[in-house]
Amino acid sequence: MTNLSEATALRGVGVSTADEYLAKAGKLQAAIIVICAMGVDERDALSQLTKLKEGGCVAPIVVMSDADKFDFILAIMEAGANGFMPADISLELAAHALRLILAGGQYFPINTLLAARHAISEAQRPEASHKKIFTKRQIAVIDALRKGKANKIIAYELNMCESTVKVHVRNIMKKLNAKNRTEVAYLANELLQEHRA
């Protein structure tokens, strides 16, 4: 069975971290660097890429990852990556992508970018409202939070347990990426105003 080194006629050298590569960079003289970020947190992969760039790495850098979310791909593009390869890429396509990058090009899979564009345009459609993001109960809790009500009062008014209110608040905070109740109220207000405009 052919591996990537044989398919591209490139000799691979494995290192564990960007720091280890930078320590050996003079001896290795890489033509291309592939950051294998399979099963690795996206922030860690981005951190390794940033370290290589800040360390003066001039070889083109490709990130291979099973995290093929648009925001992650966009982040590595902005950080200076020359390419992205999803985990399910075929050996033949990976070899072509590496040859393209070695020739001075870039490789970012169009199917991932198109899927992301579709998701963004769907989210921007007028009918994609806050009601699709939150359940009816969560919307009721958000309305109460916007009025500054305490969990105990919310539980009484909505006829639910206080612990259930806490669960709703925690889930709402996750969906809005909010750090506290005040931020929930603020972000929910912004969301409602955007959808009314």
Using one digit for the tens of pLDDT, what is the confidence trace for 86-108? 888 888 888 888 889 989 999 98
Element (H, E) at 146: helix 136-146
pLDDT (tens digit per residue) in 38-47: 888 888 889 9
**Beta strands 61-65 and 33-37: pairing type?**
parallel
Kindly list the structural domains of the chain, giving each domain's residue range(s) and its CATH number in brackets, ordered by start: 4-120 (3.40.50.2300), 130-191 (1.10.10.10)
**C-beta neighbour count of 61 within 10 angstroms:** 23
Is-contact 134 142, C-beta < 8 A? Answer: yes
Is-contact 176 146, C-beta < 8 A? Answer: no
pTM to 2 decimals? Answer: 0.55
